[in-house]
Amino acid sequence: MRKDFVLGLLLFLATHLHAQKQTAVLVIGGGTGGTAAAIASARTGAETLLVEEGPWLGGMISAAGVTCTDGNHHLPSGIWNEFRDHLYKVYGGPKAVATGWVSMTQFEPHVSDSIWKKMAGAEAKLTIIHGWQLVKVTKDDNRVTGAVFADSKGKQHTISARVTIDATELGDAMASAGSPYSLGMEAGHLTDENVGVNESNSIVQDLTWVAILKDYGVKADCTIAKPSGYTPNEFDGSCTDYYKNKNLPKPSVDAKKMLDYGRLPNGKYMINWPNAGNDTYLNVVEMTPAARAAALESSKQTTLRFIYFIQHELGFKHLGLADDEFPTADRLALMPYHREGRRVEGLVRMNIRHIAEPFTYGDPLYRTGISVGDYPIDHHHKKNPAAPQHLDFYPVPSSNIPLGALIPRQTEGLIVAEKGISVTNVVNGTTRLQPVVILTGQAAGTLAALSVQQKRTPAQVPVREVQRHLLQAGAYLMPYYDVKPSDPHFTSIQKVGATGLLKGKGIPYQWANQTWFYPDSTVQAGPFAQDLAAFAGIRQDPPTGSTLTIQQAIQYASAACQAMQQAPLHKIAAQPTAFLQTVKQAWSSWGLQDFHEQRPITKKELAVLLDKSLDPFASRGVDHSGKFLHP
C-alpha cells in the first residue's frame, strides 16, 4: 500500500511540477509569422525555442488550410520567396501552382507543413516543441521574462527568455503581459481615417473554418450526412447556379468558377468562399481556450452545411473531404482562419493614410520598413449585419510595414508578430495576408536575435541594423515592383529608397498594387538638390537646368560628403577634383556604364552613387517614426 502511494506520488509530481528551460529567444506560436520568426532568429545567431500548440507548422498557411496565398507574387522577398521556391520544387515550377484564379500560388496544406518543418529543421539553433498550450506570460516588473506552458498531461513548463515573440493567432501573449492593445473597429476621428466608421465598436472580421475537398472521380458519391439546421437559402447568392432571392446581391460567378477560386494541385479545392459561403461571424478573442473551442464549433458547422450545399444542391457529389490532408477526425482544418485579433499599441501605429500617402502624410514611417505587401484592403463582414457593409477604403499602392509596429509601447522584452502588430483595424485588412505575415515574422525574429546579441531592448536596436540584416537575407524594405533582388543594384536602390532621397510612385492596381521606382528614368534637379541639402544639413545653390546631370550629381554628393563625417568618401570629398576622379574611376566597378559628365543621370545610377559615396542609409540613422538621427 505504501509502495503504491509513493509511486503514485512520484507520478503526480513528475506530471504536475514545473519543469524549467532557458533560451535566448522564445517564440509563442508556430503559425505563419511565428515559424518565419523562429527561423530568422536562429539564422541571425540566437538560440531560439518555438512552442506550438498544434502538430503542424505554418498556421493559416497550412493548419488553417488557407493555401491560396494573397499578394506579393511580384515581390519575391525574403523567407516568403524561399518558401515559394520550395513549393516550385515540389510541384514542378510556377505554372504547377497557378491552379486557381484567386492566386498565383496555390498548394496543398500538408505540403506547406512539410516545407516549414524542413526549413525549421535545418536550423541548428532552433528547437521546436509541439503540444504545449500557453498558460501565462512571466514578467519582472515591466519586462517580459518568458512564459509558462501546460502540456497535454497538465504538467507545466516555465521557459525563461531574454526576448519573447507573441506569434499567437489572437495576441494572447500580449494580453497576458498586460500590453495595451486595440480590438475591433476604431472611429475615424481616432485614426485619421475617413472610411465610414463613425463610432468605435468591438466588431472583428468574419472567420472561416476551411475545408479541402478532393475529386474522387465522376462516379463517386461523397455526399456527407445532411447537417443539422441545413437550409440551402443560407447560401443563396453564393453563385449563379443558386440565386433565388433577387433582393440579394447578384453573384458574378457560376458554381464551377466558385470552386475554381481555390483549386489546388492534385484535384483538390480550398473551401474558403466569402460571398454567401462559409465565413462565420464570431468574436472569440477574449474567451478562454475552452470557451473558444466550444464557440468555434458553429464555424465548423457552417462549413459542413456549405459542403452539403455544394454536393447536394450544386451537384458536385464527387467532391468529398480530402482523406490525405488534415489529421483530424472530421477531416476539416486543424484550426480556424482568424482574420483578426488583438492589435498591440506599438511605438508607432500605421493607418491607411501611411499606405495611401507614404511620402507626404505624417511621420515618414516608410523609412523604417521591414515587410512589404501589395494586396488591397480586404475585410470580410458579410455574415454580420451589424458590421459596416460599405467601408469606403482608399485606393492604395503597395506598401511596407514600419519596424515600430512590432514593438509594444509599454512592455519591454516583447515583440509582436502574426496579425497582432500595431495597425488600425482598417489596415489589418492588408497586413494580415500570408506573405506579409511571413515577412513581418522574419523581421520580428531578426529584431529579437539582434536584441539578444547587442544586449539591448528591442526598442533600442537601431532601425538600420534590422534593415541591413533583412537586406542581407534577400528581403525588401521598399515595395518596388520593377527592381527585383536579382538586379545587381537592388540593395543600393532599397537603401537609398529607405532614406527618401529618391522616391517611388505608387499605383493602386486591381488585386496586386504596385510601387514603381523607374530605375532608368531621369531625376529632377531642383527637388533632389533640396532633399539632399536637408538630409546632409547644408545649404546649396539651386542647380541650373531641370534634369540632373552626372556632373551635378557628383558635385552635390561631394558637398554632402564633406558635411557627413560618417560618409565613406568624406575625406576625399574635401577635394572636389579628387572626388570626381574617384567616382569616375569607380563607375564601372560599381556596375555602371557610359560615364559622360554632361548627360542626365538615371535614378539607378544616382542611387548607386549616393550609396557608394555617402552611404546615406547608414550615415543618417532614423528613429522609429522615420525621422533622421543627426550626429
Asked whether residue 461 falls in the same domain as residue 368, the answer is yes
Asked whether residue 192 falls in the same domain as residue 222, the answer is no
What is the per-residue pLDDT for 576? 85
Model confidence band, residue 569 (pLDDT cutoffs 50, 70, 90): confident
Asked if residue 136 is part of any domain, the answer here is yes
| pTM (2 d.p.) | 0.96
Span 130-179, pLDDT tens digits? 999 999 999 999 999 999 999 999 999 999 999 999 999 999 999 999 99
Instruction: Tell how far CA 147 is from the center of its chain.
Output: 24
Give dist(CA 327, CA 65) in Å, integer.
12
Asked whether residue 115 falls in the same domain as residue 134, the answer is yes
Asked if residue 516 is part of any domain, the answer here is yes
Evaluate if residue 556 carries a pLDDT over 90: yes
Asked if residue 396 is part of any domain, the answer here is yes
What is the per-residue pLDDT for 1? 47
288 lies in which domain range? 207-321
Asked whether residue 393 falls in the same domain as residue 521, the answer is no
Evaluate if residue 28 carries a pLDDT over 70: yes
Span 173-200, pLDDT tens digits? 999 999 999 999 999 999 999 999 999 9
Q: Which of 268, 173, 171, 160 is nearest to 213 (CA)?
A: 268
For the chain, give percent helix, strand, coil, nearest 5.
Answer: 35, 15, 50
**Least trusted range by pLDDT, from 122-126, 139-143, 456-460, 543-547:** 543-547
Asked whether residue 556 falls in the same domain as residue 584, the answer is yes
What is the per-residue pLDDT for 394? 85
Asked if residue 332 is part of any domain, the answer here is no
**CA distances (Å), origin 525, targets 140, 479, 517, 543, 581:** 54, 24, 17, 6, 22
Span 270-305, pLDDT tens digits? 999 998 999 999 999 999 999 999 999 999 999 999
What is the per-residue pLDDT for 19? 84
Q: Which of 282, 416, 412 is nearest to 336 (CA)?
A: 282
Give dist(CA 446, CA 466) in Å, integer.
7
What mean pLDDT do residues 440-460 have? 98
Give dist(CA 522, CA 236) in Å, integer.
55
Instruction: Tell how far CA 290 is from the center of its chain.
Output: 28
Span 400-419, pLDDT tens digits? 999 999 999 999 999 999 99
The phi and psi torsions of 74 (rounded to 5 degrees) equal -100, 15
Asked if residue 619 is part of any domain, the answer here is yes
Q: Which residue has the cell 433577387?
A: 246
Identify whether the C-beta of residue 412 lies closer than 8 Å to the C-beta of residue 456: no
Measured over the CA atoms of residue 570, residue 576, residue 579 and residue 580, the dihedral's sign is: positive
Asked whether residue 218 falls in the same domain as residue 164, the answer is no
Q: What type of residue is 349?
A: R
Asked if residue 3 is part of any domain, the answer here is no
Task: Tell me how many domains the chain contains.
Answer: 3
Asked whether residue 363 falls in the same domain as residue 509, the answer is no
CATH number at residue 397: 3.50.50.60
Give dist(CA 367, CA 61) in Å, integer.
29
Mean pLDDT of the chain: 95
Give dist(CA 139, CA 147) in Å, integer.
8
Evaluate if residue 570 carries a pLDDT over 50: yes
Identify whether the C-beta of residue 558 lies closer than 8 Å to the C-beta of residue 536: no
Span 582-631, pLDDT tens digits? 999 999 999 999 999 999 999 999 999 999 999 999 899 999 999 999 86
What mean pLDDT do residues 210-226 have? 97
Asked if residue 499 is part of any domain, the answer here is no
Asked whether residue 192 falls in the same domain as residue 134, the answer is yes
What is the per-residue pLDDT for 17? 57
What is the per-residue pLDDT for 6? 53
Asked whether residue 392 falls in the same domain as residue 526, the answer is no
Determine how many CB atoms are found less than 10 A away from the CB of residue 454: 12
Q: Report the chain's C-alpha Rg in angstroms.
A: 26
Asked whether residue 360 falls in the same domain as residue 379, the answer is yes
Asked whether residue 293 falls in the same domain as residue 312, the answer is yes
Asked whether residue 550 falls in the same domain as residue 452, the answer is no
Asked if residue 315 is part of any domain, the answer here is yes
3-state secondary structure of 19: strand
